[in-house]
Structure 1
């Protein structure tokens, strides 16, 4: 029942960000594959955060998994985290790049906090969201999560300061 409520919450919030930005702060949102988005943290207590979506746009490029520093501007808005949820590849030859595609979530943390968060993925187009592991995000750092299988949407929620 808890997962069903989470899915309903994430789906409802996903519909809300398609209209006006920034969104109202919420515990979490879901994002479709092929998007670039920026969130802004809003503290709810000493360690926990809601967030709002302040930028959202389609992103259909296939990025290089290891050489992607140019995705992010050197300067960005303090208190935000920028994300690319897209396809990535590596390799030298085109054949290698075609065979080695992965779903990636690349992020740049522009907050003063190292954060843990929960992530849920939707592996089937109309399927359920299932929790997946992540490494969190570190203050001032770029991070990458990747999966070897198709993911249609990712839900990010429960951001809090790492212990």
Structure 2
């Protein structure tokens, strides 16, 4: 618990620092509010683990299509980076269906040569505690999607490691 608290404090300090100057100094992790578009760059610590820096960040308030969102990612992104959208998404034919299908997503495009695992912590209540959540990792050259059917106010991403 102490380790998690210290990590979250570090992430809070880092979030404050990246809001002022980019790129950030490499760190073990950062937290991001819902409605964020950001790009990270990996920095090796050893042969398996990475810190990362935030090289781009901007608010992103649009609601995206849950299943048709490839166009969000530029086809000529910077190698060695991972692009993220942490936002709301939905799908459906009618406004009622779209409202019923609203969910939180973390969309990512991994432009590194590594398939990665990482830890993710989510904040389910505004100003609430963070809790660990599972994820599928991020695969080299691939787009990935994480989905939650409930509101998440912030997500923390830490402990990036090579999968193999």
Whole-angstrom distance in 2 between the partners of 1:21 and 1:36: 14
Taking the TM superposition and a 5 Å limit, the aligned residue runs for 1:4-153 are 4-153=5-154
1:51 Cα deviation (Å)?
0.3
Q: Which residue of 2 aligns with 1:157?
A: 158
Whole-angstrom distance in 2 between the partners of 1:29 and 1:7: 8
Whole-angstrom distance in 2 between the partners of 1:28 and 1:92: 38
Whole-angstrom distance in 2 between the partners of 1:123 and 1:14: 18
| Runs of 4+ deviating beyond 4 Å | none
Whole-angstrom distance in 1 between the partners of 2:30 and 2:94: 37
Instruction: With the length of structure 2 as denominator, give the TM-score of the two structures.
Output: 0.98
Whole-angstrom distance in 2 between the partners of 1:12 and 1:19: 11
Whole-angstrom distance in 2 between the partners of 1:13 and 1:52: 10
1:7/1:128 contact within 8 Å kept: no
Whole-angstrom distance in 2 between the partners of 1:17 and 1:53: 7
Whole-angstrom distance in 1 between the partners of 2:85 and 2:79: 18
Count of residues in Structure 1 that have an aligned counterpart in Structure 2: 163
Structure 2 residues not aligned, in runs of 5+: none
1:92 Cα deviation (Å)?
1.4
